Each structure stands twice: as C-alpha cells, then as structure tokens.
Structure 1
Amino acid sequence: MTALPSPRRRTLLAAPLAAATACGAPADTDSTRTTDSDASGSSGDKSRPVPRTQPGIATAQPAHVLLLAHDLSPARPSVRDVRRVLSDWWTDHASRPVPGVTPTVALGPALHRKLGLTAPPRLKDLPSFPHDRLEPRHGGGDVLVQLCGPSAAACDRAAARIAARATGVLVPRWRQPGFLPPRPTGETPRNLFGFKDGTQNPTTDELTRWIWHDDGSTFLVYRRIHMHTDTFTTLPTTHQEQIIGRHRTTGAPLGAHHEHDPVNLYAKTPQGRYHIPTDAHIRLAHSRLDGGARMLRRGYSYDNNTHDHGLLFLAYLRDPALFTRVQERLAADDAMNPFIEHRASAVAHVLPAPPPGKPLGDQLH
C-alpha cells in the first residue's frame, strides 16, 4: 500500500504554486488538451488512415494510475497462450468494465525474443544514462499495463481481474501506483516540487505526426524519478525558477507572462543574459533541439514512503530514440540533476486497438 504523503509534502501538493516541467525528460507537455476520439479522427493530414488507438493515452488524465508489469511464466507459455490473455483482458474490460478505469497494454522488448517473434525495430532497451540509480526489480517487464482511474481502489479492482486472467501465463514483476496532486479544475497538474508539470503537449492535429503510427501503435517510455523535495523546496524561489526555466507562480517561461506563452530560447535580459539559463531544464528538453519532434506525457506523482517519492514519467512517442536523445542532454547538463534520481525504467510497444469484433491478441505477431 502506498503511504500517505507526509505533512510537509501534503502542504506542497495543495499549495497554490505554479510553473513548468517534468523531471528528467521533455517537460513542456499538456495532458489535458486532447481526447482519444479527437486523436483518431481529426488529424491535420487527411490522407493518412485513421489510427485505431488504445484508450488511456490521449484522453484526459484521471486522478490515479496503477502501473503493472508482468513477465512470462516459468512454465514457458506459447504465443497462443499470451494472445489469449491479451484478448481476455480486452474483452473482459469491454463487457464488464470497472467504472472509470482505462487499461492500456504494451509489450516489452524481451517478450518477442522469448516467444520467437520479431520485435518492432524501434523496440529496444534504453541505454544507461549518467546518474541513473535503477532498481532492476522495479523496472522492465514483458507486458506492461497502465490502469488510469478515479481512485486507487478502482485501479486495484481492475488489477485483480487482470491478474486472474493471466494465471499460468504471466507472473507479476512490479506494480507502482501514482496520483495527481489536488488542483483547481482545468489547471495543469503540479509535481512535488510545486511546479506545473505538463504545459505543452502536442495538439490534436499533431498527435498523428508525432505520437501515432498509421496502425494506431506507439511506444511508451516509463521512468520512476525520485525527487529530493526537502532540498529543492528550501532554495530561494528565483533559484528554483532558474533551474526549471519557468515562473513558479504563473507557469510562464522566464521572460514571458503566461503559462502557454511560447518558450523563447533566445530572449535576453537588458544585461545581455538569457532569460532561460543555458542549463535550465526546459531549454535542454525543448523540441527545437530535436527538429520539433514531440512526446505526449502523462506524468503522475508517487509517494511510496518518506524516503521514496517523486514523479512517474510516462511518455508516448513514435520512437523511443527521441527520449534517449533528450535524456542524454539532460543527464549531462540539467541544473535539476542534483535534485532527482532515476530509479526505475521501462520501454514498451503499445499495441494498436483491434478492429471492431477482433481480439487484442491478434495484434501480437
């Protein structure tokens, strides 16, 4: 069971703070702007097919998430067995859903090898990054499931049904709950540093270009990022803002006035200094440095105990290599590095939704 936030952290969660970014990867994303129906039917490129996408990716974030990772059973199940489990999950949720809970299913790099199948070319384990403190037993996995719902209890109920369907084929590897700190309706969620986390996700028309493949598949990158909140939050506010690159109160980029103002990497003060420092998090994570390539982020906070709390970084993107490029920049120069540790990691291929009346397991081939 996840421990409740300490009194100090409860204060941080409810405090009327604001401003920018994800810890440890592209931060300027807004997970409140799109829906799955928009993403699959309103692409700016009308010549491309409408992708069949799983829910729980471009839909607005519920208050809670439960991440589940499974490995193949030592009994060495067959491809057919795994397809059956995936299909059972899909049809079970469709026929008797847990109210408000959305499952999203993705496959890890090792699964295809174990089953003698060919993995998608871009599905590869992430490389090691400087400063990583990864705990292998809390990362990786052959099959990952993201459960998003209105309460931790609802997510737990859905997880119990998933576990029952997987008996004899998949065994649990790790599970990690997360939550969105309290916030006024319509506001961007804040992380445990008190800054807004997720300000400029791709727009509806950009999802097909940057997130979905034509068949509706995408990739998931997961990082559990421990945050040294006591150290960071004792810094003067102006120092915090220089580290992030945004104003804490308004969420605006330094040198601007409103949360959704464009990030101007070249704006300078009258004294000739960049408004956004060269080692600020949002500068190093900016899409301009990657030819405009974008990710869709669905970050959640987590609080496992008094010694382990922070951010569950969940990003959906067409190619995990984008995350690798960004994280290499951040690991080398990000001013936030002294205040965070990447402790768990996973990458997975998110299957497209099956055609109507077809089983999800058919997407594994």
Structure 2
Amino acid sequence: MPTEPENAQPSSGFSAAGVGRRRALLAAGAVLAAGVGAAAAELTDGGRPSGRTAGRTDAAGGPPPEAAIPFHAPRQAGVTFPQPAATQLLAFDLPQASAAADRDVLRTLLGAWTRTLSSAVTGPPPDPRLRGAGTARLTSLVGVGPALAARLNLAVPAGLADLPPFPGDRLDPARGGGDLLVQLCAEDRWTLAVVGELLTSAARTAGAAPRWAQSGFLPPTEPGATPRNLFGFKDGTANPDEGAAKQWVWGPPGPHENGTVLVYRRIRMDTAAFAALPEDGQNLVMGRRGGDGSPLTGTAEHDDPDIYAKRPDGSYVIPATAHVRLTSPRLDGGARMLRRGYSYDDGPGDRGLLFCAFMRDPGQFTRVQNRLAARDALNPFLEHTASAVAYVLPGAPEGTTLGEHL
C-alpha cells in the first residue's frame, strides 16, 4: 500500500489551506472521542495541538501542561486529532459460542472499555500507574470487524467487508483481522502500555481473546512540518480538509455519520535496497523529490501534482509507474482518504509502515491498491504482511457507551 499516497496524509488533523498541515507521520498510538468542532479548536495553523506552543514553559520553567483530549464526544478522537508520537494497535476475537452469547460479550466489553478509556483521560485513573495520563495526549478509537458484524447482524455500513487479496500480498493471518480493533495513541509508550494492559484484561474478563498487537512511532518533526517515513521521504501531504472529509471520510447523514471505516496494512519496507538507488531514481519511483517533498511537476511540497504533464518527447514528467501518480485522487473520481500512519521497527529485516487510513467506502482503498499492485515502481521495496478492516464506531457522548446503536 502507499507509503505516501497522494490521496491522504498520515497525521491526524485535517491538512488544507485553512486548517494547517498535520503534526507528523510514523511513530505510535490512538483511542476515542471528540467531534469536528472540538478537533478544529485543538488545531493550530501548524496542525499541532494548541497547547504545544513551541518554546512555551510554565511558571516553574518546565513544559506547559497539556489539556487532556476529551473522550466523550460525537466522534472518537483517534481519527482527526493531531497524531501523538506513539501508537499501539490491539485486536481481539470473541468466542463464537452463539450469537446471543457474543452479543453479551460485546455489550459487556464495550461498556468496560468506555469506562476505562474515559477515566484514563478525565480521571480518576483506572490504574495508579496512569496518574497524569491525560497530559500524554491519550486518544483512542474502537472498531468492529466485518466478520463480527456479519455474524451478529450488527448495524454497520453496508459496504463493510474484508479486503480482497491483492497480487504480491504475503499476509500473516496471526497479525491481521480481528473481531474488534483498538488503536491507542499517546505522546509516550508508558501510557500506551498501561492502558493496553487494562483493555486486554477487560477483554479477557468479558470472554474475548487477544489476537494481535502492534506498536508504532513517529519521527521527531518540527511543528507544522510533514514527517518522513523510513525511506526518508515526507509521508502524507494531502489529507482532505474538513469539507472533503464530510464527503469521503465520515459516513453519510444518518446513523453512521459520526463513524468511518479504518483500513490497516502492515507494510514491510526494504530500506537498504531503496537507499541504494541514486537520488534521481528514488524521486522517479515516488514522483516527488526527497529533499523538500515537492512533486516532480512543482516547486513546493504542497503543489498539486500534474499527473498529465509531459516533456517535449511525449514522456510523462511524473512517470506512469510513480507512486504519487497511481494514488492520485484524479484517477478515482476525486475520492480521498484520511491517512494517519506510523512507522514500526520489529528488529532486523522487519521495519516499515503501519498504514492506517480512514474512508467512508473501503472500496476506495481496493481501487487504489489494485492500481498500485499492478504497476507501482515502489513494489520491489514493499511487502504487505498484515491487513485489517474495521468500522470505527461513532463516539460516546457524556452518559453513553460506545456501540450503543450497534
């Protein structure tokens, strides 16, 4: 899948002329809450939380305290709030004893998770180790997998389905899928470890079983700048703005308008082989310049790539196999997805991208990935090793529980 698709960017928070460029890509974490209004209030022109003003200190001379990101809101905060530095993804399976029994497990578990996630942000902490967790900018999201939705006849969007197989996939079932998917994000891994442990304990108590877990991270990035992936390229430049997100990311008016669909891909990157390419060769593979992130048809990072521009000899300036060209919204009716990815490093020979993208229609990802699988010049350097799809539930306003309308 795209490491830098032109139809989305990896941070949270919208990236457009009126909203600002998001915080960074590739480093780790996410969990629930907060509507678009609250999200907009949290963003500065640099796409960073307003409480993280560069250089500001409190009266004691230390960094300023950061307000906790609200948990109770119409939408879960783990989708559009600026990305914290770390992430933890957790997947769980229900026992499949019977539809009635699994419904009871689901109801019990979502209630327990709601209480844990809410108290982790607003207090009192559900665990003494979480004192001050709110200052870690903890966010979260909880989603339901297609198989569970079908098995229990849950009220999810009609198009929710697992992805089809793609050429070149080498998926490990033990690293993907799942009845329930949680993404936690925070500025430190300590918070993620403790909250993840609490959620896993609640799942086991309710009767669910852990399926897989994956950690990720973002690189240090200046406020307002686009972070780089492990290929050294800026990753995620064109997330939809708030208006476009209403059309392409969030559900249509009705029961799903505060929900969205998450597509997750674990993509191993051959960083050594890519680094061996000459600089011009890397740029042609990507369709962008590695230095400033500008498209080959432009001079600045956020210039719109002209995928139809040609040289005097008739060849495309951005090659027909360039990653940016094949992920262009122009090839998909203008459709865009909201990227919120992270890097991972699981040891020698296993590092890459945790591709996380949000969209109304998961068929959009399928169309883009089919183009990439067929001719992307980046394919020799990528290996897709895990995949998951989940319906990200609407948020839980005060006094309610996640998934009440399932």
What residue number does 2:293 align with? 251
Aligned length: 336
Q: CA deviation at 1:118?
A: 5.8
What residue number does 1:319 align with? 361
Matched, 1:194 2:232: yes
Give 3-state SS (helix, strand or coil) of 1:155's partner: helix
Deviations 1:306-339 (A, max 9, x none): 1211000000000100000000000001000111
Deviations 1:93-112 (A, max 9, x none): 22332322111000001112
Q: CA deviation at 1:40?
A: 7.2
Given the alignment, which residue of 115, 122, 132 partners 2:169? 132
Describe how 1:1-365 pairs up with structure 2 within 5 A. 22-23=2-3, 28-29=8-9, 31=11, 33-34=13-14, 37-38=35-36, 52-73=74-95, 77-97=101-121, 98-99=133-134, 100-117=137-154, 119-166=156-203, 167-213=205-251, 214=253, 215-364=257-406
Deviations 1:192-221 (A, max 9, x none): 000011001001222111111133011000
Which 10-residue stretch deviates more, 301-310 or 83-92? Answer: 83-92
Cα contact 1:30–1:200 (8 A) shared by 2: no
**Aligned residue type for 2:234:** K
What residue number does 1:7 align with? none
Structure 2 unmatched runs, 5+: 20-33, 41-72, 122-132
Cα contact 2:265–2:387 (8 A) shared by 1: yes
Q: CA deviation at 1:267?
A: 1.8
Q: CA deviation at 1:255?
A: 2.0
**Aligned residue type for 2:387:** S
Matches of 1:65 and 1:26, distance apart in 2 = 23
CA spacing shift, 1:355–1:302, aligned 2, 3 Å: same
Give 3-state SS (helix, strand or coil) of 1:305's partner: coil
Cα contact 1:27–1:285 (8 A) shared by 2: yes
Cα contact 2:6–2:238 (8 A) shared by 1: no
Which 10-residue stretch deviates more, 266-275 or 60-69? Answer: 266-275
Which 10-residue stretch deviates more, 181-190 or 313-322? Answer: 181-190
Cα contact 1:113–1:119 (8 A) shared by 2: no
CA spacing shift, 1:219–1:126, aligned 2, 3 Å: same
Q: CA deviation at 1:354?
A: 3.0
Matches of 1:125 and 1:323, distance apart in 2 = 11
CA spacing shift, 1:38–1:82, aligned 2, 3 Å: closer
Structure 1 unmatched runs, 5+: 1-20, 43-50
Matches of 2:219 and 2:250, distance apart in 1 = 28
Deviations 1:54-104 (A, max 9, x none): 111011111001000000036654313311211221222223323221110
Deviations 1:266-287 (A, max 9, x none): 2223444321000000101101
Cα contact 1:179–1:300 (8 A) shared by 2: yes
Q: CA deviation at 1:129?
A: 0.2
Identity of aligned residues (%): 47
**Aligned residue type for 1:103:** S
Matches of 2:107 and 2:340, distance apart in 1 = 27
**Aligned residue type for 2:190:** A
Which 10-residue stretch deviates more, 205-214 or 61-70? Answer: 205-214
Give 3-state SS (helix, strand or coil) of 1:133's partner: coil
Deviations 1:288-320 (A, max 9, x none): 111001100001000011121100000000010
CA spacing shift, 1:311–1:320, aligned 2, 3 Å: same
CA spacing shift, 1:129–1:147, aligned 2, 3 Å: same
Matches of 1:52 and 1:38, distance apart in 2 = 9
Matches of 1:24 and 1:58, distance apart in 2 = 18
CA spacing shift, 1:324–1:284, aligned 2, 3 Å: same
RMSD between aligned residues: 2.1
Matches of 2:202 and 2:10, distance apart in 1 = 34
Matches of 1:82 and 1:291, distance apart in 2 = 37
Matches of 2:270 and 2:120, distance apart in 1 = 41
Matches of 2:6 and 2:372, distance apart in 1 = 9
